[in-house]
Amino acid sequence: MNHRLEQERDKFPLNFMINEGVHGVVVEQGAFISRVRFTLGGFSHDIYVENDEFLVLENKVSEEANELQFMF
C-alpha cells in the first residue's frame, strides 16, 4: 500500500514545511497564503499557511489538479 503522500505527489507539487521539518503537498497556491497537506506525528494536517513557511520542491501539477483548484 502506498503512503497517501506518494499518491498525492502525482497531482500536486511536493513541498517542505520549514517549521515542522516534514514533506507535504501544496493543494492550493495563492499569492500570499496557500493550503498545504502533510502528515506529522501520525496525524494528517490540511492547513492554510503563509507562502514563506514552506519550500516548493517540484513544480509540476497535473491538469486534474489545476481543474480542482478552480473549483474552490
**Cβ atoms of residues 68 and 24 within 8 Å:** no
Nearest to 49 by CA among 67, 27, 66, 21: 27
Paired residues of 56 in beta bridges = 15
Q: What is the mean pLDDT of each run of 10 residues along the chain (72 residues)?
A: 57 89 92 94 94 83 47 39
Q: Which three cell numbers stand for residue 59?
A: 513544480
Please tell me the pTM assigned to this model: 0.67
Nearest to 27 by CA among 44, 42, 14: 14
